[in-house]
């Protein structure tokens, strides 16, 4: 089992704004004959005593730090969120926002370990597109960088039968370019689901191992747009989190980049609407959006921005598509419950983790990383890591 970094134990407590005495109490450390509870905790922090696995788990929960953090070579030095690009409505609960923080800390710990291992194995290469631009440059310039990076044939992308298939293709291209793209909308179980209102995606910019996280509780038709939006942040060298409401200037800028990539302005100009009612607009937009493998909500927003529909009509259509999506999710859930079948948990997890699995698998068999760290990187029990490696890919 790899050694625990005692410096991080102290760092985790201090960054949680907890005193030695309060932490010892909450960690259920008892006074002894030769040392008080606080002194026992100080022994863990100065490295003279190593905590047990159960104690480490309690520390992880109390300090709201992923278990993997305690095995890093040094404490993380970058802020937890990076920049918060969101505009949050009042209904986002404090607890849900704390879950977002915990998720970001978890992913950053994984990113740090992957980065260190790549460098140790002499595989750390700088990626040219990361931090290549500034927000003073044009949407077209950054869009072209994304196109050059992804090398995606848009005809192939649009010809695929489902939104999920289209996302899988563009994700494969992003991962081939060196970006780790993870699908995760909770802290490991549905009990900790994080709404799209709280976060839609976030980017962890890094010249060697950039990460993009997409909230998979969002509609599949929106995943590709979120991926490109976060790629725009990475091209700008920005680490940060994006939500469902994008009022800030930088968020609108990254939206424009993603939009231009998926549906160039010159092409969109060919799509026009005659004077028809809202129901007819909704039907026509849905067909057009699917043919381009973009969401219907995005198309009606583009129509609103272009002046084809007024704000009231846009909002009505946006709400209509959201209601449709919620109803579709409800039907799918009921259908899956009836069938009581589907891919295994390992297959689903492998799909959500993407290229991270194959990289970690290679590190494991080469001996570059311990099974314990592999389990924490992939959020799988060490003894079951190989079951994840051997599971089939999700079609």
Residues 89 and 146 in one domain: yes
Region of poorest pLDDT, from 79-88, 119-128, 261-270 = 79-88
Q: What is the mean pLDDT of residues 353-369?
A: 94
Greater confidence, 17 or 163? 163
Q: What is the mean pLDDT of residues 100-106?
A: 86
214 occurs within a structural domain = yes
Residues 71 and 83 in one domain: no
- Asked which of 56, 75, 94 is the last residue of a domain, the reply is 75
355 occurs within a structural domain = no
Number of domains into which the chain is organized: 2
Q: What is the mean pLDDT of residues 161-172?
A: 97
62 occurs within a structural domain = yes
SS (H, E, C) the chain: CCCCCHHHHHHHHHHCCCCHHHHHHHCCCCCCCCCCHHHHHHHHHHCCCCCCHHHHHHHHHHCCCCHHHHHCCCCCCCCCCCEECCCCCCCCCHHHHHHHHHHHHHHHHHHHHHHHHHHHCCCCCCCCCCCCCCCCCCHHHHHHHHHHHHCCCHHHHHHCCCHHHHHHHHHHHHHHCCCEEEECCCCCCHHHCCCCCCCCEEEECCCCCCEEEECCCCCHHHHHHHHHHHHHHHHCCCCEEECCCCCCHHHHHHHHHHHHHHCCHHHHCCCCCCCCCHHHHHHHHHHHHHHHCCCHHHHHHHHHHHCCCCHHHHHHHHHHHHHHHHHHHHHHHHHHHHHCCCCCHHHHHHHHHCHHHHHHHHHHHHCCCCHHHHHHHHCCCHHHHHHHHHCCCCC
Q: What's the whole-number average pLDDT of the chain?
A: 88
35 occurs within a structural domain = yes
Residues 131 and 20 in one domain: no
pLDDT at position 79 is 46
8 occurs within a structural domain = yes
Region of poorest pLDDT, from 12-16, 92-96, 306-310, 321-325 = 92-96
pLDDT at position 95 is 64
Greater confidence, 183 or 57? 183
Q: What percent of the chain has pLDDT over 70?
A: 91
Residue pLDDT, tens place only, 291-331: 999 999 999 999 999 999 999 999 999 999 989 988 988 88
Region of poorest pLDDT, from 74-78, 134-138, 246-250 = 74-78
pLDDT at position 350 is 94
pLDDT at position 76 is 65
Residues 46 and 185 in one domain: no
Per the structure, the complete domain to which residue 50 belongs is given by 1-75
pLDDT at position 378 is 92
48 occurs within a structural domain = yes
Residues 150 and 247 in one domain: yes
Q: What is the mean pLDDT of residues 164-178?
A: 97
Indicate the pLDDT class of residue 363, thresholds 50, 70 and 90. Answer: very high
pLDDT at position 78 is 46
pLDDT at position 89 is 56
Region of poorest pLDDT, from 145-159, 275-289, 322-336 = 322-336
Asked whether the whole model's pTM tops 0.95, one would answer no
Q: What is the mean pLDDT of residues 254-261?
A: 95
């Amino acid at each position: 089992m790899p050694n625990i970094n005692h410096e991080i134990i102290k760092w985790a407590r201090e960054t949680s704004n907890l005193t030695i005495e309060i932490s010892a109490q909450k960690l259920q450390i008892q006074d002894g004959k030769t040392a008080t509870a606080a002194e026992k905790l100080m022994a863990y922090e100065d490295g003279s005593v190593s905590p047990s696995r159960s104690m480490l788990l309690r520390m992880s929960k109390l300090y709201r730090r992923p278990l993997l953090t305690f095995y890093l070579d040094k404490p993380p030095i970058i802020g937890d969120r990076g920049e918060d690009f969101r505009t949050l409505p009042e209904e986002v609960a404090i607890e849900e926002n704390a879950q977002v923080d915990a998720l970001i800390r978890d992913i950053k710990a994984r990113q740090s370990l992957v980065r260190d291992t790549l460098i140790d194995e002499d595989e750390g290469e700088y990626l040219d597109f990361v931090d290549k631009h500034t927000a003073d440059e044009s949407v077209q310039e950054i869009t072209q960088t994304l196109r050059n990076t992804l090398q995606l044939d848009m005809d192939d992308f649009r010809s695929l039968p489902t939104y999920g298939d289209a996302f899988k293709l563009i994700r494969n291209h992003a991962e081939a370019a060196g970006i780790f793209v993870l699908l995760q909308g909770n802290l490991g179980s549905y009990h900790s689901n994080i709404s799209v209102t709280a976060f839609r995606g976030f980017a962890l910019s890094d010249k060697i191992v950039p990460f993009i996280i997409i909230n998979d509780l969002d509609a599949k038709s929106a995943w590709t747009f979120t991926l490109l939006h976060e790629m725009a942040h990475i091209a700008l060298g920005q680490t940060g989190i994006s939500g469902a409401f994008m009022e800030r200037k930088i968020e609108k800028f990254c939206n424009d980049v993603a939009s231009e990539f998926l549906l160039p302005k010159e092409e969109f100009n060919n799509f026009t609407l005659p004077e028809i009612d809202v129901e007819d607009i909704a039907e026509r937009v849905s067909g057009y959006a699917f043919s381009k493998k973009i969401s219907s909500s995005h198309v009606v927003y583009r129509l609103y921005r272009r002046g084809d529909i007024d704000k009231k009509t846009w909002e009505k259509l946006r709400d209509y598509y959201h209601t449709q999506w919620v109803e579709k999710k409800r039907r799918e859930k009921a259908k899956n419950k009836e069938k009581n079948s589907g891919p295994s948990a390992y297959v689903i997890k492998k799909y959500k983790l993407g290229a991270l699995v194959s990289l970690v698998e290679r590190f494991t068999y080469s001996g570059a990383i311990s099974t314990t760290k592999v389990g924490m990187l992939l959020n799988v029990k060490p003894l079951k890591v190989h079951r994840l490696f051997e599971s089939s890919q999700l079609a």
